Structure 1
Amino acid sequence: MTIDDPARPGTAEAPPSDPTPPAPRKPTTWSALRPLLLRLHFYAGVLVAPFLLVAALSGLLYALSFQAEKAVYAHELEAPVGDTVLPLSRQVDAARAANPDGTVTAVWPGAEPGATTRVLMADPEAPEGTSLAVFVDPHTGDVRGQLPSYGSSGALPLRTWIDGLHRDLHLGEFGRNYSELAASWLWVIALGGLLLWIGRRRKSRRALFVPEGGPASRRRTLSWHGSVGLWAAAGLVLLSATGLTWSRYAGENIGAVQDGLGGATPVLTATVGGAPTGHEGHEGHGGGHSGTGAGPAAPQGPDMGVDKAVEAARAAGIDSPRISVALPADGKGYVVKETDTQFPLELDSVALDPADGTVLDRLAFADYPLLAKLTRIGIDAHMGVFLGLFNQLLLAALALALVLLILWGYRMWWLRRPGRPAARGAWRKVPATLLLPLAAATALVAWFVPLLGISLLLFLAVDLALALTAKVGNRARTNRTA
C-alpha cells in the first residue's frame, strides 16, 4: 500500500464521494420471471404431488413386475430343454385339446431354448380384454398351464394387475383422469424445477450436480432435491410425454397432430384381396389387445397351416426368433410379426394368403415415418421392453427418484412454514413483451393438454381466494387496532 493510499490515515486527502446514488439496476428477464415460476412450481408440487406419488410408486412396481412375473410364472413360461421340437400345428392341437371351448387366435413360439410356446385363445371365460394363454412344452406337447394374457407384451395376471393400478387405479375411465393429470403436470414441474435450480447462485459448478453433505437442514434438502432433479429431468419429461399418448383427452390431440404431420403408423394389408381400414393406434400400457372373449369367425377356404405360414414368413424376410403368428379369420390371412423390441429392433411384419402362402403385404419397421418410429420406441421404453432389464432398472431408478423428489419437496415446505414461495402478483413484474407470449403459449398448451389447463385455473382460483382471505383478515385487524 503506497503513502498516497486514501485508506490510510495521514495520507493524501481522499477524493470526495459522489452524492448522487447509483441508479437502480433494471430487472432482468429471469429476475422478473423467477418469482412467477417459483410460485407455479410450489402450487403444482404441493397439489399435484400426491397424484405423482401414486403414479411413481405404482410405476416402480410395474418396472419390477417383469422379473417378478418370470419368477411367479416360471412353471408356465419354462420347460426342460429337449432334443426335438414338435411342429407348431401339434402344439396348437394340444392347446385345443386342453381347452376345447376356446378359439385359437395366435401363436407365440418359444424364442429361446427352455421357453414354452404360448397359444392364445379367445375364450368366453377369460377376463374382458384378455386372451387365454395356453403354455405348451414345445418338446413334448404337454400343457404346462393356462393364464389370462393381456396386450402385445403378453402381460400375465400379476403384471396386468399392477399395470391397471398404474394406469387407472382399477377405477376404469374415471381413474384414468388421475394418471393423465399426473402426466400432464410432470413435465411442467420437472422443467420448471430444472430452470429454478440452474438459475440459483452457487459458489461452484460442482454444487449444481452433486448434493451437499453436512447436517440435516433445509439447505441440504434443497441441494438433494435440485441435484437429483437435474439428473432425472430428461427421463421424467420423456415419461410424461409418452404417458400422455395413452391419456384420454391429451392422447386424442397427440394422435391428431401425429396424423397431421404424416407420422401415423402404417398399416399392414392383411385382408385377402382387400385394403387396410386405418392405422395402428397407440397401444395401452400392457399393449394392444391380443384377443377378446367373443373370438373371430372361423376361416373360410383352404388353409396351408401354421407351420407352412411360418416357413413362408421366413422366406419373406421375417428372421427374428421372436415372432407372433395371428391365424386367419374374418377374410384375413396369416399375419406374422417380429416382436423383438430390444435394440436393434426387429419389428417387421408380413401378411400371407392362407391358401398358398402368397405374400399379401410386407411392412418393414425401417419404412415407418420417423415420428412413428419415435412414438413406438418411446412407448416401448415407457413400458420397460425397449432395452430389456436395463430399461426396467432405469424406469425403477426414475420412479424412485420421483418419490424422493416429492418427499424432499414436502420436507422443504414443512421446514419453511408457512411455506410461501414468492409474493402474490409476481406476474405484474413480468415485462409485457414476455408476459403476452407466455400467456398465449400457456393457453395453447392448456387447450392441448386439457387437464393441465383445468387444474391451472383451479390453482389460480385457490390463489385468488387466499389473497382475498388475507386481504379481509388484514382489514379486520386494522379496524380493531384503529
Structure 2
Amino acid sequence: MSVISAATAGATGPVSEPAEASTPSAPGSQPYGFGPLLLRLHFYAGVLVAPFLVVAALTGLAFTVSPQLDGMAYGAELRAEADGRSARPVSEQVAAAIAAHPEGTLSAVTPGDQGATTKVVFNLPELGENQHTVYVDPYTGRVLGQLTTWFGATPLTTWLDDLHRNLHLGVVGRHYSELAASWLWIIALGGLALWWRRHRGARGRARRLLLPDLTARKGVRRTRGWHASTGVWLLIGLLILSATGLTWSRYAGAHFSSALEALDAGRPELSTTLTGAAGPDSGGGHHGGPAGATPVDPAAIDQVLRIARTDGLDGPVEIGAPADASSAWTVTQVDDVWPVRKDGVAVDAAVGTVVSRNDYADWPVLAKLSSLGIMAHMGVLFGPVNQILLAALAVGLLCVIFWGYRMWWHRRPTRADRRAIVGASPVARGAWWGLPAWAIVVGLPTVFLLGWALPMFGGTLLGFLAVDLVVAAVRRRGRRDIATPISPAPAGS
C-alpha cells in the first residue's frame, strides 16, 4: 500500500532508478500493461487527494480521544460514585430531572450503571436535532448538571465529530470527507499492487513487502521502503475506514442505504404500535418521540424496565418514551463493546406485556456488518484497544503521506538547466492506451459503475483526466511551435 505513489519516485532526478519506476515513456512508445496506468493514477490521486486524507487523519485522531476529553470536561455530569449505595428507582430520578427541567418532552432515559450517571433526555422544538440531557446521580437522585446533546453525544464530542465529518462547514464540508473515503481504498489497493509488482519474482518477497530495506542508500529508495511497507501494515485498517466512512457519506451513503433497502438487508425496526391502536410507528429511533409528543407518566418507567429485564435485556439499556398514546414504550440494549448487545423490546405499560421484539441475532448480515463497522470507525467496538488502533492508523497514514511527498521532492530534477521544486509524473500521458483491448472493454463499464456508486470518485477522476488531456495538448502545441522553422523574409521586402 502507499498513499502517495509507491513509486511516485518515477520522475527524472538525481538518483538512478529501475526503468519501470523512473524512466518516463518516450512519445510514441507507450508502456504496455496495467502497471503504468496504476502508477500514473496512483501518482495523481496521491498528490491531489492526500491533503484531504491529512485533514481526515488529523481530525479523526482528535476524535479517537473524545471519551477521555469528555471525562475531563464533563466529569461532574457523567460520573457518579456508588459508595456502597443502591440505585434509586428510575422513576424517582426522572421526576428529579423533570423538576429541574420542566420544559420540553421526555424522550429517553438511560439508567446509570457502573459509575455512570442517569441520562434523562428531553426534546425541545427550538433545538432541532439536538436535545437537552439532564444528568442525575442514580444513588442520591440529585441532578448534577445539564447539557445540550446530539444523539447522546456531549457538546465537545459533537464538535469533534462535526470537525471530522464536515469541518463545521455543513453540507458543503461533507464533500471533503466523502472525497477522502472514496479514494482511500483505491489509493491503498493500487499502491499494494505497485509494491507487489516491484518485488515479483524476488527472493524473500514477503519480507521485502512487509519490511523496509534499511540497507538501501538514503534518498528515494529508503523513503519508498518505509512508505510502502508501512502502508502494507495499515492496509486492512484503511480499507475498513474507507468502507465505513462511505456508509454515512452524503452521496455514496445514500446509494448504500438504497442498496440495503432493495436487498431488504437494513436494520429491522422495532414496531411500537399497540394492538388495536391506529397511532403511527415511532420506529424506536434515537430520539424516541417527536418534539411536542403527548406527555407520558414517568411512574411507568420502573415497570417497563422490570418487564424488559425479565424478558432478557441485561446490561446498559435506553428506555424510549412513547411517541403518543397509541404507541408502546421501548427498551433497547446500547452496549456497543464487543460482544455487542442490541436487542430491543416494545412494552405496553398499561397491561404490562411485551408487544414486539427485535433481536440482534435476527438482523441481516449486512446490517450487522454495517453496524459493527461504524462502531469500529467511531472507536467504541473494542473499547480503549479500538481507540489505540485508530490512533495508530491515523499516525501511520500521516507518516505514509509524508514519505510520499518526500519521495516526490527527492525525485525533482536538480540540473542547473532543469531545476524544479518537485518531481514530475513517473509515467507519460496516455498510459491507458497500452492496456489490452479486453481490459478496456471490461474496465470502462466498471469505472462508470464505480463513478455512479461513488460520485466523488467519479467526478474527481474525470477532473484528473481532463487536466491530463489539457496539459498534454498545451505541451504538444508548445513543442510544435518550437519545432516549426521561421521562414526568411523575401529579398527586397
The interval holding the TM-score normalised by the smaller chain is 0.7 to 0.9
Task: State the Cα deviation string for residues 437-482 of structure 1 (Å, max 9, x = none).
Answer: 0111111111111111111000000101111121122122223699
Which has the bigger relative contact order, CA under 8 A and spacing at least 6? 2
2:209 matches 1:208: yes
2:62 matches 1:65: no
Residue 113 of structure 2, aligned match among 111, 114, 117? 111
> How many corresponding residue pairs?
440
Corresponding residue for residue 451 of structure 1: 456
Give the Cα separation in 2 of the matches to 1:317 and 1:276: 27
Task: State the Cα deviation string for residues 355-391 of structure 1 (Å, max 9, x = none).
Answer: 1221110111001111111111111111111111111
Whether the 8 Å CA contact 2:279–2:327 is kept in 1: the answer is no
Give the Cα separation in 1 of the matches to 2:212 and 2:482: 44
2:301 matches 1:306: yes
SS class of match (2:304): helix
Q: Could you tell me how far 1:48 is from its partner in structure 2?
A: 1.1
Whether the 8 Å CA contact 1:304–1:354 is kept in 2: the answer is no
Give the Cα separation in 2 of the matches to 1:394 and 1:265: 27
Which piece of structure 1 moves more, 267-276 or 51-60? 267-276
Give the Cα separation in 1 of the matches to 2:143 and 2:298: 25
Corresponding residue for residue 439 of structure 1: 444
Whether the 8 Å CA contact 1:303–1:354 is kept in 2: the answer is no
Point out where structure 1 has 5 or more consecutive residues left out of the alignment: 1-29, 282-287
Corresponding residue for residue 256 of structure 1: 258
Task: State the Cα deviation string for residues 64-117 of structure 1 (Å, max 9, x = none).
Answer: 1122212221111112224121111110011111111132211111121x2211
2:364 matches 1:366: no
Q: Could you tell me how far 1:31 is from its partner in structure 2?
A: 5.9
Give the Cα separation in 1 of the matches to 2:260 and 2:82: 45
Corresponding residue for residue 80 of structure 2: 79
Q: How does 1:207-356 map to 2 (within 5 A)?
A: 207-213=208-214, 216-273=218-275, 289-290=286-287, 294-299=291-296, 305-320=300-315, 322-330=316-324, 331-356=326-351
Give the Cα separation in 1 of the matches to 2:72 and 2:463: 45
> Structure 1 residues 275, 372: CA separation in 2 closer, same or farther (over 3 Å shift)?
farther
Whether the 8 Å CA contact 2:280–2:327 is kept in 1: the answer is no
SS class of match (1:81): coil
Give the Cα separation in 2 of the matches to 1:289 and 1:348: 14
Corresponding residue for residue 398 of structure 1: 393
Q: Could you tell me how far 1:315 is from its partner in structure 2?
A: 1.2
SS class of match (1:451): helix
Residue 91 of structure 2, aligned match among 89, 92, 98? 89
Whether the 8 Å CA contact 1:377–1:386 is kept in 2: the answer is yes
Task: State the Cα deviation string for residues 195-215 of structure 1 (Å, max 9, x = none).
Answer: 111111355331210123256
Corresponding residue for residue 160 of structure 1: 158
Give the Cα separation in 2 of the matches to 1:225 and 1:279: 50
Whether the 8 Å CA contact 1:269–1:361 is kept in 2: the answer is yes
Corresponding residue for residue 388 of structure 1: 383
Give the Cα separation in 1 of the matches to 2:445 and 2:476: 30
Name the amino acid aligned to 1:56. A
Whether the 8 Å CA contact 1:303–1:355 is kept in 2: the answer is no
Corresponding residue for residue 43 of structure 1: 44
Corresponding residue for residue 417 of structure 2: none
Name the amino acid aligned to 1:408. W
> Structure 1 residues 290, 43: CA separation in 2 closer, same or farther (over 3 Å shift)?
same
2:194 matches 1:181: no
Whether the 8 Å CA contact 1:229–1:405 is kept in 2: the answer is yes
Corresponding residue for residue 171 of structure 1: 169
Give the Cα separation in 2 of the matches to 1:340 and 1:306: 20
Q: TM-score if structure 1 supplies the norm length?
A: 0.86
Name the amino acid aligned to 2:226. W
Q: TM-score if structure 2 supplies the norm length?
A: 0.85
Residue 471 of structure 1, aligned match among 451, 455, 476? 476
SS class of match (2:345): strand
Task: State the Cα deviation string for residues 325-348 of structure 1 (Å, max 9, x = none).
Answer: 011232321100001111111110
Task: State the Cα deviation string for residues 154-194 of structure 1 (Å, max 9, x = none).
Answer: 21111110100111111111111111111111111111111
Name the amino acid aligned to 1:38. L
Q: Could you tell me how far 1:216 is from its partner in structure 2?
A: 3.8
Corresponding residue for residue 148 of structure 2: 148
Give the Cα separation in 1 of the matches to 2:456 and 2:69: 34
Which piece of structure 1 moves more, 226-235 or 201-210? 201-210
Q: Could you tell me how far 1:278 is from its partner in structure 2?
A: 8.7
Cα RMSD (Å) of the superposition? Answer: 2.3
Give the Cα separation in 1 of the matches to 2:461 and 2:278: 45
> Structure 1 residues 440, 124: CA separation in 2 closer, same or farther (over 3 Å shift)?
closer
Name the amino acid aligned to 2:428. A
SS class of match (2:484): helix
Give the Cα separation in 2 of the matches to 1:280 and 1:221: 53
Give the Cα separation in 2 of the matches to 1:254 and 1:110: 35
Q: Could you tell me how far 1:128 is from its partner in structure 2?
A: 3.5
2:130 matches 1:130: yes
Identical-pair percentage = 48
Residue 411 of structure 1, aligned match among 397, 406, 412? 406
Which piece of structure 1 moves more, 256-265 or 379-388? 256-265
